[in-house]
Structure 1
Amino acid sequence: MTDVPTRPVTIITGASRGIGAAIAERLAADGHDLVLTYRDRADDADSVARRCASSGARVLVLKVDLADLEATATVVPAAIAKFGRVTGLVNNAGITGKIGGFLDASLDESEELFRVNVLAPIVLTRAAIAHMATDRGGAGGSIVNISSGAARSGAPNTYIPYAMSKAALNALTTGASKEFGPVGVRVNTVSPGTTRTEIHAAAGRPDAPDERAPGIPMRRPGEPHEIAGAVAYLFSADASYTSGADIRVAGGN
């Protein structure tokens, strides 16, 4: 545990369940104070916050629909107002759209997907960097983007627009890490492979992790805590010279 004035303060989007919840609990255990956003599962978000608080974290929970970019723009200021500073951001929240062929993908669904998966991270990352950058009076910081192996595979017959959005997030890591490395901001990516979360049910295929297991070299899907471990490394002192990286946590894929 660290003293309150020097404890890292990290924003995690989409933290009410799955990978976001696992990241929150791991970072709380590592001594972070947290700002957790959720869209529509207040009970789950509160439960995650209580578990984080039991590790000694101070926690601010914010209900935010990241498709609403004006609401998204309030997150970093709210974190600063509560804790006095922000040292980290995890762009975790994301939606996939329905699983299916590219020609059947809804354009309206794809537009919402890009607002949540790409535009909201742009809004949050710009605000976080403006606060963290040493040439603007900040003390530096770290940003981790949660991408997907789909960004490289293209996810044919599954969800190409989702894969496109995650490729855009990878480009954000590459560009921002180079532009803002000189002013103390590290930007990295963690790319999970198939992981056992509820996102697959939301996409219309709840059994997808086990269905895909035979094609994974380790013959099983990942678990949220395994993704959280990679994120925790990128926020640790051990990663002080790591920026612009993409850590694939995909069972060998």
Structure 2
Amino acid sequence: MHNDHLIDPTTKHTTDPFPRQEQRPPGLTDQMHPLPDHGEQSYRGANRLVGRKALITGGDSGIGRAIAIAFAREGADVAISYLPEEDSDAEETARWIEDAGRMPLMMPGDLRDESFCNDLIGRVRSTFGGLDLLVLNAAHQRNRGGIDEIPTDDFETVMRVNLFAPIFLTRAAVPHLRGGSSIITTTSIQGFDPSSSLVDYAMTKAALVAFTKALAEELGPRGIRVNAVAPGPIWTPLIPATGWPDKLPEFGHNTPLGRAGQPAELAGAYVYLASDDASYVSGAILPVTGGRPL
């Protein structure tokens, strides 16, 4: 007897090669082909985050949008930070948050700026009346031809967005977090299996693994859990904005599942780590990699 309810993960989403395409950073969703799936039509909430107040960096598109949609459908109010040039993506994400009956808070700005990071925490607390879930998701990456070709200004952007901002935001948030709050970082398989073409990005993702584990040890006695999700190859605007159009037809095909992942396929991991279902989980790195080992 066959179970018609089973979904084969190798064919759940497209296995077709992605066409060659390129965008200027940070990349926009409506310029992607095909468009990513953020769970707009598929994610079903179960009231696991009712009453929570969340801030998601990079929440306008990609993984961040999928998290925002899922958190809102689970009952959380959701603030998203993003670059001003990503406003069209942010407006779409806010529409889905409102569609779920929750309050969106849109906060454009540059995470490289320490004062902006501090203001983010303050605005979320004053608007929502608190902060319970901090998702450190925003990231910048670019294709590197070699170590001798990394521009200093862009290297600094990678470091400030991927590492400085999580420190700034966490430092500002922790004094106001209560027991039961949760911090979730987005690291990457690159933090464990680095590519030479993403050397500086991979450095930051490995550092976030250490950050997650050290912070979990520090904040555990206060009842604040700290965990990370480690995505594999996921189809987001970051990919066509990385500067490797010739690699896109094979993107994700090196996984055991044989395809790239969609942002929607990560949402459940973040919801789990944010919810009371994970009340005894802290310092964990949850891989969502299509079967590639960390």
- TM category (shorter chain) comes to over 0.9
1:112 corresponding residue in structure 2? 157
Q: Residues 143-193 of structure 1, C-alpha deviation per residue, up to 9 Å, x if partnerless?
A: 10001100111212x110000011111111010000000001100000000
Equivalent residue, structure 1, for 2:182: 142
SS at match of 1:114: helix
Structure 1 residue 56 displacement after superposition: 1.2
The CA RMSD measured in Å over matched residues stands at 1.7
Per the normalisation by structure 2, the TM-score is: 0.80
Question: Which residue of 1 is the match for residue 275 of structure 2?
Answer: 236
Distance 1:17 1:59 in 2: 14
CA-CA distance at 1:91 after TM superposition: 0.4
How far the C-alpha of 1:211 sits from its partner, in A, is 1.2
Q: Residue in 2 aligned with 1:179?
A: 218
Match of 2:239 in 1: 200
SS at match of 1:160: helix
2:72 corresponds to which letter in structure 1? A
The structure with the largest alpha-carbon Rg is 2
* Cα distance change of structure 1 residues 213 and 80 upon mapping to structure 2, 3 Å threshold: closer
Percent identity over the alignment is 38
Q: Determine the structure 1 residue equivalent to 2:286.
A: 247
**Equivalences for 1:89-108 in 2 at 5 Å?**
89-108=134-153
Match of residue 32, structure 1, among 48, 69, 76: 76
Cα offset, 1:98, TM superposition: 3.0
4+ long deviations beyond 3 Å: 206-210
Instruction: Please give the alpha-carbon distance, in whole angstroms, between the structure 1 residues aligned to 2:181 and 2:246.
Output: 38
- Decide which of 57, 70, 76 is 2:102's aligned counterpart: 57
- Aligned equivalent of 2:266: 227
2:279 alignment partner AA: S
Matched residues in 1 for 2:144 and 2:71: separation? 32
- Bigger relative contact order, structure 1 or 2 (CA pairs below 8 A, ≥6 apart): 2
Aligned counterparts of 1:38 and 1:207: Cα–Cα separation in 2: 28
CA contact (8 A) 1:86 1:131 kept: yes
Deviations 1:56-115 (CA, angstroms, capped at 9, x unpaired): 111111012111122111111100110110000100100012343222112221111100
**Counterpart code for 2:89:** D
Contact 2:64 2:137 in 1 (8 A): yes
How far apart, CA to CA, are the structure 1 residues paired with 2:118 and 2:165? 8
For 1:50, give the aligned amino acid: R
TM-score between the two structures when normalised by the length of structure 1: 0.92
